[in-house]
Structure 1
């Protein structure tokens, strides 16, 4: 892993692997780059793959306050440092919201956009709603502990999801303060995107899990002119983890087709 200084001198930790057309993977809320270990290992045999810890996550700097504009500036800084003019963006959950905003602001720099379990309204409010529905089960536990208790409701393939969760935990254990700051930023991202929706014309792939309680359909078709949607039949909130082979095949076909 390497580090760079972003536009405001905050550190970003990243990995740059493989050769070819660049794909940048953006992780979800309270996650880190370790969540993409397996996917990156597969993709790097055909593409150049960049993963990084988003600001406030993993081993990157964790300021007390940051905003959507900071995430966009960080992604620009990563691309500039690595000499990447254009790339395919793949984002899970919150990472998808950052990738979407970047695409809205800099469409000429995005070859394609893939959103995994990343509809903005559901990402922000879905987990809160799930906690309300199961409040008796999680009473007295903090958010991180509640996620473990609610695992059976969030993921279909729980064994794979737990290994994914553990890999990120072993890579870096976030504090409750880190998680709270990241959650506040997520709310600001959602409000920003809701206020100023922009139509996206780049090829877009939207992937959701059939058993994901956090994601509900919204008006996504109104904001994408070249969108392809796929529902993974045996997945919950992390289709790329719960059905990895199917996801890899589907993603690479989509990326390759976007060049034809």
Structure 2
């Protein structure tokens, strides 16, 4: 693991392995780069793969406040400092939100977008809703412990999800304070606008969702079909909120088939 300095206050921890066309993997809310190590290992034989802890997470700097825009600018500077002019972006959960907003600002730097289990408008609301529905089961537990207890309601393959979740806790455990700061960044705290408009894009986009994911709604998928002009939409029948973990071979196959045209153009 190495670190790159974004500015005088912020450093991002990252791992870069492999060779070929760049792929950048971006983790979800309260996660860290450990959540994407398995996927990185699958891709590094054919691609230059970068995984990193976004600000406020993992072993990157944890400021007291930041915005979604800061995540976008962090990625721009990270790519610049690592001399990456263009890349495939794969984002899970919040990572997909970062990737989409980055592509809106810096489309020429994005070869393709892959959004995994990503609700671009109200994922925080959906998680809070689930926690309220099961408040009796998680009363007295912190957020990390609560998410472990809620695994059966979030993932289809609970054993794979549990090992995946624990690997992230071993790498770095997110504090309650850091989780709150990171969540506010997504909600544009203190005002959360549920009428957020998703900008249209012509960037080739793969969206992968699990059939049992409680955070991605049918309404959201219908919005995606309207705004992504070059969209491949795939639903995994044996997955919940982490299809790249619950069905890793299926995910790898779907992604490689999706990017084949751009690979042949290189």
The TM-score, its normalising length taken from structure 1, stands at 0.95
Secondary structure in 1 matching 2:37? helix
Flag the 1:90–1:191 CA change in 2: closer, same or farther, 3 A.
Answer: farther
For residues 12-161 of structure 1, the aligned pairs below 5 Å read: 12-161=12-161
Distance 2:48 2:23 in 1: 6
1:138-165 alpha-carbon deviations (Å, 9 max, x no partner): 2222222211111111111111111111
Distance 1:166 1:114 in 2: 25
Secondary structure in 1 matching 2:239? coil
1:44-70 alpha-carbon deviations (Å, 9 max, x no partner): 011000000000000000000011111
Structure 1 unaligned blocks of 5 or more: none
Paired position in structure 1 for 2:162: 162
Aligned length: 260
- Contact 2:121-2:194 within 8 A present in 1 as well: no
Match for residue 242 of structure 2 among 226, 238, 242: 238
Tell me which moved more, 2-11 or 74-83: 2-11
Paired position in structure 1 for 2:201: 200
- Contact 1:6-1:73 within 8 A present in 2 as well: no
Question: Does 2:227 match 1:226?
Answer: no
> What RMSD, in angstroms, separates the aligned Cα atoms of the two structures?
1.7
Distance 1:193 1:136 in 2: 27
Flag the 1:224–1:63 CA change in 2: closer, same or farther, 3 A.
Answer: same
Flag the 1:122–1:239 CA change in 2: closer, same or farther, 3 A.
Answer: farther
Structure 2 unaligned blocks of 5 or more: none
The TM-score, its normalising length taken from structure 2, stands at 0.93
1:173-219 alpha-carbon deviations (Å, 9 max, x no partner): 11111111111112129958954532110100001000111211211
1:81-126 alpha-carbon deviations (Å, 9 max, x no partner): 1111100000000000000000011111100000001122341211
